[in-house]
Structure formats: C-alpha cells, structure tokens
Amino acid sequence: MSLANNELNLHALAELVDNAAHKAQAIAQLSAQGESLSLEQAYKVQDLSVARRISRGEKQVGIKMGFTSRAKMIQMGVEDMIWGPLTDQMFIEEGGEVSLERFIHPRVEPEIAFLLNKPLSGNVTLAEAMAAVEAVAPALEVIDSRYDNFKFSLEDVVADNCSSSGFTIGAWQAPDANLANLGMVMEFDGKAVQIGSSAAILGNPYRSLAAAARVAGEAGKTLPAGSIVLAGASTAAQAMTPNTHVRLVCEGLGVAEFNIK
Ligand code: OOG
Ligand code: MG
C-alpha cells in the first residue's frame, strides 16, 4: 500500500501509533508496512496522535529534543535532530516507582531539563535562550519505541512521538551553572551503566534549547512560560530491567532517580 497524501490516512496512522502506545503493544514500522511518509507527514501524524492524548485528558507540559548527541544518532542509526511533545501522563515522580508493564521495551537515558519563565519561539540566540530559563535540572527520560525491535526510520520515530514515554526531573537548580561540560553518570543499582558529558548535547545543552525554540517556531508554535524542555540524551540509552534503582548523577546539578518494578 502506498500512502496517499490525505488527512484520512494520516489520521489512521496516528490512531495506529497511539493505540500501540496506549496498549503497550508493538507494531511493525510504518516504513516496513509500505508507508513512505515524508518528514512533514510524519510530524502531522505525531500532531494527530498527541491530539488523541489531549482528547483523553492529557496535558502538554513541554517538549523533548532527540538525537542531539552523536551517541544517540549512532545507537539508532539516524542523522537528524527530532522533537516531540511531553505530556503530564509521562511524568514520573522523582524517586518514585515505575512499572515495566506500562511499556513495550523501555530504555532510559540521561538528560538535562530546562524550565522556561518566558515564552520562546523562532530563531533565538544562545543568550536569549538562556535568559528564558527559570531553572535547570538533571533528568531521566524513558523512551519506548512502539515499533518491533526498537527499529525505525527517522520518519517512523517522528510519527511515534519520538518514542516519548516517561521522564523524571531532579531538584530544579538556579540556571547559573555553566552547563557546557558536566560529567553525567547513569547508574543501575549504584553501578555506572552509561557515562557521558553534557558537552555531547550539541556541544552545550543550551544549544538544544535554542533549537527547540526554532523547531517550535517552524511548526507555528510557541513554547509557553512554564514549559519543560528535555535537551536530549548525552549517552546511548540503556534497556530497563526489573527491580532496578536508576539514578543519574550530574556534576554540579545533582541527581534524578526512580525505581523500576
Ligand atoms: C528516539 C528518541 C531520542 C534522545 O534523547 O535522543 C531521544 C529514540 O531513541 O527512540 O529521546
Ligand atoms: Mg531523550
């Protein structure tokens, strides 16, 4: 089946990925099903699937950037930065518990989160991006591709809301720290499983924030004050295992942690 460029098919694909996420049941990659989506169509599917979440009562609380580090691009075999909305349903209380049953084949990755105190949209300088930050925090993101074997094309993963599934945020810090090169160690039960630096995130996580403003602007959107922005993982993601304490220790920013059951 080849994809006709009409709304109806995009709605059907949005329903497909949304149901897969909602029921935690994997589906074949859209590209493997003969659906050749353009990147623009993929973002439209993402938009429509997020609209389904909103209609179920979820609220958008921010956005996440993806593939902002070489480590992630290499792990997943893609070359471009992506982005997608975060909703309140994805929020994992810091130090709380998360059940593997909610997911298909979840992975966790170390991130840095920003909290905005001013709206951001369009082309902004690094200084403007920094001036819009109320607070910064270490964060962990749970990603769970809805596709079989966690395999996808760039368009597939965009349509699947960039694998977004969960996130937890450590204690917010004043944004006065220099974020350009902070050591980031992600531990499972106290043992380091991924080690990196915030420098891996576009050379400086604030660049990811500026990129978030730009892509939001290109999509005709604004990141409102109060938004959370996840800058993207600094290392490869790690498969989640049962009964595990996950902790990110980020130099100068502190920790973010949760328990997998
Ligand atoms: C897509 C999401 C990428 C990141 O931080 O780079 C991402 C995926 O890897 O499944 O969240
Ligand atoms: Mg991520």
Residue 111 tokens read as 């991130």
Residue 232 burial (10 A CB sphere; 0-12, 13-18, 19+): buried
Helix axes of 7-23 and 39-55: crossing angle, nearest 10 degrees: 60
Positive or negative torsion for Cα 125, 63, 139, 81: negative
Q: Which of 67, 104, 146, 149 to mutate to test the pocket of ligand 1 (most atoms within 8 A of CB)?
A: 67
Intra-chain end-to-end CA distance of the chain, in Å: 40
pLDDT tens digits, residue range 57-69? 999 999 999 999 9
The rounded Å distance from CA 238 to ligand 2 centre is: 11
Q: What is the pLDDT of residue 5?
A: 54
| Strand 97-98 to 254-260 pairing | parallel
Contacts of 140 (CB under 8 A, 6+ apart): 92, 108, 109, 110, 111, 167, 168, 186, 246, 248, 256, 257, 258
Contacts of 233 (CB under 8 A, 6+ apart): 66, 68, 69, 71, 72, 109, 110, 111, 141, 201
Question: How far is it, in rounded angstroms, from Cα 11 to Cα 163?
Answer: 18
Q: What is the pLDDT of residue 3?
A: 47
Q: Which of 46, 63, 69, 76 to mutate to test the pocket of ligand 1 (most atoms within 8 A of CB)?
A: 76
The rounded Å distance from CA 174 to ligand 2 centre is: 22
pLDDT tens digits, residue range 104-145? 999 999 999 999 999 999 999 999 999 999 999 999 999 999
* Beta carbons within 10 angstroms of residue 189's beta carbon: 11
The rounded Å distance from CA 3 to ligand 2 centre is: 29
∠ Cα 84 88 91 (to 5°):
90
Give residue 69's Cα distance to chain centre.
Answer: 13
The rounded Å distance from CA 35 to ligand 2 centre is: 25
Q: What is the pLDDT of residue 1?
A: 44
**pTM, rounded to two decimals:** 0.96
Q: Whose CA is nearest to atom 8 of ligand 1?
A: 163
CATH, range 60-260: 3.90.850.10
Q: Of ligand 1's atoms, which has the minimum distance to the CA of residue 145?
A: 10
Residues of the chain with pLDDT under 50: 1-4
Residue 12 tokens read as 């059907």
Q: What is the pLDDT of residue 133?
A: 98
The rounded Å distance from CA 84 to ligand 1 centre is: 10
Q: Which residues line ligand 1 (CB under 6 A)?
A: 64, 66-67, 72, 76, 109, 141, 143, 145, 157, 162-163, 232-233
Which ligand neighbours the alpha carbon of 235 most closely? 1
Any idea what DSSP says for residue 86? E
